[in-house]
């Protein structure tokens, strides 16, 4: 469901939220065991989206730009989802709609609803483990 990039982004943001401090891109990649150079571009993208702040030079790195409770999951994974966001009908046709649903439509609508809950209601703060924070 999430693209590889979106998954990396979410895990990186979670790591930063748990540590609560600035971390270098290379260190994040090592802790997550993901490609460093690839993750680098993802982190930069998150900076452009306003999710992260970056600091160059000695002692630099990335940190959350807002409080964890103000960062929705959708803001983290959204830039890496392209058009993978659930469509109206899983068959992508004009066959079914809310007024005249096919048998798959009801199932699909449930999935869409849960997905939207995940991306729009849940924040990074909700995902941080009690053992690490709060």
The yes or no reply on residue 57 touching DNA (CB under 7 A) is yes
Binder of DNA out of 10, 15, 24, 102 (CB under 7 A): 24
**Cα atoms in the 13 Å half-sphere on the side-chain side of 30:** 5
3-state secondary structure at position 21: coil
The yes or no reply on residue 32 touching DNA (CB under 7 A) is no
The yes or no reply on residue 16 touching DNA (CB under 7 A) is no
The yes or no reply on residue 92 touching DNA (CB under 7 A) is no
The yes or no reply on residue 65 touching its own copies (CB under 8 A) is no
**Nearest CB to its own copies, comparing residues 57 and 92:** 92
The yes or no reply on residue 90 touching its own copies (CB under 8 A) is yes
Question: Using a CB cutoff of 8 Å and minimum separation of 24, what contacts does 34-43 make?
Answer: 34/8, 38/8, 39/8, 39/12, 42/5, 42/8, 42/9, 42/12, 42/80, 43/12
> Min. distance of Cβ 115 from its own copies in angstroms?
7
DSSP 134: -
> Min. distance of Cβ 10 from its own copies in angstroms?
6
Beta bridge partners of 123: 72
Of 38, 49, 109, 36, the closest CA to residue 78 belongs to 49
> Min. distance of Cβ 100 from DNA in angstroms?
26
Residues that bind its own copies (rule: CB under 8 A) add up to a total of 27
The yes or no reply on residue 111 touching its own copies (CB under 8 A) is yes
Task: Find how far residue 40's CA is from the centre of its chain.
Answer: 15
């Amino acid at each position: 469901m999430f693209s590889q990039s979106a998954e990396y982004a979410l895990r990186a943001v979670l790591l930063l939220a748990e540590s609560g401090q600035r971390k270098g891109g290379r260190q994040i990649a090592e802790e997550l065991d993901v490609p460093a150079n690839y993750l680098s571009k993802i982190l930069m993208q998150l900076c452009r989206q306003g999710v992260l702040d970056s600091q160059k030079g000695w002692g630099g790195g990335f940190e959350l730009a807002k409080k964890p409770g103000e960062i929705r999951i959708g803001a983290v994974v959204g830039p890496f989802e392209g058009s993978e966001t659930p469509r109206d009908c899983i068959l992508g046709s004009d066959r079914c709609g809310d007024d005249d649903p096919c048998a798959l439509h009801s199932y699909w609508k449930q999935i869409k609803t849960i997905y939207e809950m995940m991306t729009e209601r849940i924040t990074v703060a909700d995902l941080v483990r009690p053992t690490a924070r709060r």
